[in-house]
């Protein structure tokens, strides 16, 4: 159940007046409010008049822009993050006051919170910003610590943490359960994900599952409807806004029930420190720069581009109702994750590059593990499923 009755309650007379204005058409009121403003207000009144079922709330959110849905949903705290919110109306979003197109796309964004200035930064925001900023500053030392062995170290750690860790383990195996491996191998791959410094497995999986549950609605942790920067990295630096949408982690109870993932969660910071200590012991400052800071930043942005670029640039082969796109260059950089429309159409699939020409290195790893007898229950979409969703 979603309760919006905690909002300021207008009188029945106010509600009737608002509804009459909406029915009257696009004329502006004496206060200068357009019918779009009044329709949003009228919808809020209807929601406030009683405690509504989730289905009733869903009906009232249908046909509204992302911004209108956001304004309605965020009137009550905490959010009901388990409800299903209909996809925003793209035309209504394009008509939003202050909306602007993301460059070279058809996505109209309206920022809902100040990204850097004009908002409160809590200690978590400042810690994240300090670490991410520090990694970028240290990465700037790459030209002065260059050597070919360090380039090799960069690509090795890029593959281990990015492909084996994030895309193969965190994403396809743990988040979507698209294949199974022996537990020892599952844990080894998950530890590779820890090396990417994107959070412990349980935290990453929980946030990602909410992204799929609410993709490109106001309950999505990182929709580009709030701006390209927000979907790329801004959401990571606004802990208050993000936690509102993912505060309940019980959608990853399958992770928390296992001692290994609880241990990684409780000791996560020590593994980050240990990684850089090992790099320094192996190769001094150059190894810390190339195998640590530069590689971490590179994998950060490659991962973030899946959330940002692959939701604004590219093509759609399947009718998913969201903004997910197939983006070839993200597909190459992110080991196959850029075939994002394919993924949102068939999130259970271990293979994202569904066409022969769609490069998907991560699928190649799943295929290899399957041939070796180490991957079982590998899930793929059937031709009938693909035809059903194809444009």
Q: Does residue 105 sit within a domain?
A: no
Residues 163 and 68 in one domain: no
Look at residue 82 in the predicted model and tell me its pLDDT.
Answer: 86
Averaged over 336-341, what is the pLDDT? 99
Together in a domain, 207 and 344: yes
Whether the predicted pLDDT of 203 surpasses 90: yes
Is residue 31 very low, low, confident or very high in pLDDT (cuts 50, 70, 90)? very low
Question: Is residue 136 domain-shared with residue 268, that is, in the same domain?
Answer: yes
Q: Is residue 110 part of a domain?
A: no
Is the same domain home to 155 and 65? no
**In which domain, by residue range, is 27 found?**
12-97
Please report whether residue 1 resides in a domain.
Answer: no
Residue 217 has pLDDT above 60, yes or no: yes
Do both 276 and 145 map to the same domain? yes
Residue 12, pLDDT above cutoff 80: no
Q: Is residue 368 part of a domain?
A: yes
Q: Is 58 exposed, middle or buried (0-12, 13-18, 19+ CB in 10 A)?
A: middle
| Residues contacting 72, CB < 8 A, separation 6+ | 4, 40, 43, 44, 47, 60, 61, 64
What is the per-residue pLDDT for 54?
62
Same domain, 212 and 323: yes
Q: Are residue 175 and residue 133 in the same domain, yes or no?
A: yes
Whether 6 has a pLDDT exceeding 60, the answer reads no
pLDDT at 59: 84
| Co-location of 149 and 266 in the same domain | yes
| pLDDT score at 55 | 67
In a domain, 303, yes or no: yes
Q: What is the pLDDT of residue 50?
A: 36
Average pLDDT, the chain: 89
My answer on whether 65 and 137 are in the same domain is no
Residue 223 has pLDDT above 70, yes or no: yes
SS3 379: coil
How far apart CA 86 and CA 321 sit, in angstroms, is 9
User: Three-class SS string for 311-364?
Assistant: HCCCECCECCCCCCCECHHHHHHCCCCCEHHHHHHCCCCCCCCCCCCCCCHHHH
- 8-12, 21-25, 47-51, 257-261: lowest mean pLDDT where? 8-12
């Amino acid at each position: 159940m979603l309760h919006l009755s905690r909002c300021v309650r207008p009188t029945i007379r106010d509600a009737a007046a608002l509804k009459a204005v909406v029915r009257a058409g696009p004329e502006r009121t004496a206060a200068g409010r357009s019918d779009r403003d009044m329709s949003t207000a009228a919808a809020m009144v209807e929601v406030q008049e009683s405690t509504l079922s989730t289905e009733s709330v869903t009906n009232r959110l249908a046909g509204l822009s992302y911004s209108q849905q956001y304004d309605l949903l965020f009137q009550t705290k905490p959010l009901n993050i388990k409800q299903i919110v209909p996809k925003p109306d793209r035309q209504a979003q394009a008509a939003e006051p202050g909306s602007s197109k993301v460059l070279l796309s058809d996505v109209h964004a309206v920022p809902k919170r100040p990204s850097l200035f004009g908002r409160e930064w809590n200690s978590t925001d400042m810690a994240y910003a300090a670490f991410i900023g520090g990694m970028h500053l240290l990465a700037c030392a790459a030209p002065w610590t260059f050597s070919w062995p360090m380039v090799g170290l960069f690509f090795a750690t890029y593959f281990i943490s990015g492909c084996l860790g994030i895309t193969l383990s965190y994403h396809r195996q743990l988040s979507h359960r698209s294949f199974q491996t022996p537990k020892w191998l599952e844990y080894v791959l998950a530890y590779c994900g820890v090396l990417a410094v994107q959070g412990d497995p349980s935290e990453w999986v929980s946030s990602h599952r909410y992204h799929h549950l609410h993709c490109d609605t106001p309950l999505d942790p990182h929709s580009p409807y709030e701006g390209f920067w927000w979907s790329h990295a801004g959401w990571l630096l606004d802990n208050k806004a993000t936690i509102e949408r993912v505060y309940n982690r019980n959608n990853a109870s399958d992770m928390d029930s296992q001692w290994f993932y609880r241990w990684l969660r409780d000791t996560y910071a020590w593994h980050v420190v240990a990684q850089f200590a090992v790099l320094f012991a192996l190769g001094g400052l150059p190894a810390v720069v190339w195998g640590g800071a530069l590689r971490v930043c590179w994998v950060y942005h490659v991962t973030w581009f899946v959330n940002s670029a692959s939701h604004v640039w590219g093509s759609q082969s399947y009718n998913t109702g969201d903004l997910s796109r197939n983006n070839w260059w993200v597909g190459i950089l992110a080991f196959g994750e850029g075939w994002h429309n394919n993924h949102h159409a068939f999130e259970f699939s271990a293979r994202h590059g569904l066409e022969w020409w769609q490069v998907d290195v991560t699928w190649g790893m799943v295929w290899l593990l399957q041939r070796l007898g180490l991957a079982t229950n590998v899930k793929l979409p059937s031709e009938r499923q693909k035809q059903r969703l194809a444009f």
